């Protein structure tokens, strides 16, 4: 199986080098490497030239942002599955592609874990994947984009919405998973070691505003109120609640406990 690894970069020379090193040292070799640079002026182009023999395609020119860069990469990709490993982020190990390939999966989306590591504290944590994926998944947050492998055909009629600066990936997930019903396989494999303090944190207010724009596009007002109530629980608790509710025995026990609490506090 052939993979297309797409990296978008803008003025992040050292992050770009780190990402390139993690890609070119993968033990599994059936992949193409595409890098879209947004016209960097910090020396990133020198890095691209240095590694040019190990990059299948690269370009450096001004563009409209991260998602336009991703869309450029998608149009050049020929692999069966696409992965977006942007500058500063890295594959968790040199065996990631080999491990994913060895699973012989055919789902439309294959989703693993991110590892968030803070070099200052030398501590980190992995993302919590939901027990099942529904619209609520994308109301609360989203799936780890760098740790997702997308079938290339998913982009044949839908690219990333370039009018959005931060959450176009969430909108794409909603369209493909919740609207079109594309298949998703979650795997217990750490795919990406993430750079801390990425764009979503740096522009948190804009991220929240864009997120609400997308939700209002796809959900009626009444549904948003219901999702907002559920989202008042923290993510780990909510996912655990799902697991309890979907098991008949624990569902009955949970319902009984709620009735008792209602009698006490109602």
pLDDT-derived band at 92 (thresholds 50, 70, 90) equals: very high
DSSP-assigned letter for residue 254: H
Residues 161 and 147 in one domain: yes
44 vs 205 pLDDT, higher one: 44
pLDDT digits 0-9 by tens, 238-263: 777 777 777 777 777 777 777 887 78
Residues 238 and 216 in one domain: no
Residues 221 and 239 in one domain: no
Specify the DSSP element, H or E, that contains 190: strand 184-194
Write down the pLDDT at residue 70. Answer: 98
- Cα gap 20→24, rounded to integer Å: 6
- Cα gap 254→72, rounded to integer Å: 50
Domain count, the chain: 2
Residues 131 and 253 in one domain: no
Q: What is the gyration radius of the CA atoms in the chain, in angstroms?
A: 20
What CATH number is given to the structural domain containing 190?
A: 3.90.550.10
Residues 38 and 64 in one domain: yes
pLDDT digits 0-9 by tens, 57-83: 999 999 999 999 999 999 999 999 999
Residues 171 and 241 in one domain: no
Which range marks the domain in which residue 217 is found? 3-232
pTM above 0.95, yes or no: no
Residues 104 and 179 in one domain: yes
- Cα gap 94→22, rounded to integer Å: 7
């Amino acid at each position: 199986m052939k993979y297309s690894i797409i990296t978008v970069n803008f003025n992040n020379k050292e992050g770009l080098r780190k990402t390139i090193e993690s890609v070119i040292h993968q033990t599994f070799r059936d992949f193409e490497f595409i890098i879209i640079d947004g016209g960097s002026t910090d020396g990133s182009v020198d890095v691209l030239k240095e590694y040019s023999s190990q990059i299948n395609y690269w370009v450096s020119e001004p563009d409209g942002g991260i998602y336009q860069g991703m869309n450029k990469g998608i149009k050049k990709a020929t692999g069966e599955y696409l992965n977006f490993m942007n500058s500063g982020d890295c594959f968790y190990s040199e065996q990631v592609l080999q491990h994913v390939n060895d699973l012989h999966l055919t789902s439309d989306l294959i989703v693993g874990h991110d590892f968030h590591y803070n070099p200052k504290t030398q501590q980190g944590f992995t993302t919590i994947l939901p027990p099942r994926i529904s619209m609520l998944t994308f109301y609360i947050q989203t799936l780890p984009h760098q740790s997702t492998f997308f079938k290339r055909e998913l982009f044949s009629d839908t690219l990333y919405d370039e009018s959005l600066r931060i959450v176009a990936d969430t909108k794409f997930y909603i369209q493909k998973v919740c609207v079109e019903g594309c298949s998703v396989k979650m795997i217990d494999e750490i795919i990406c070691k993430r750079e801390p303090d990425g764009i979503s944190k740096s522009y948190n207010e804009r991220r929240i505003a864009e997120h609400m724009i997308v939700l209002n596009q796809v959900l009626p007002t009444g549904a948003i109120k219901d999702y907002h109530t559920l989202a008042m629980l923290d993510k780990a608790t909510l996912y655990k609640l799902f697991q309890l509710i979907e098991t008949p025995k624990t569902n009955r026990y949970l319902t009984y406990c709620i009735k008792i609490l209602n009698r006490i506090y109602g």
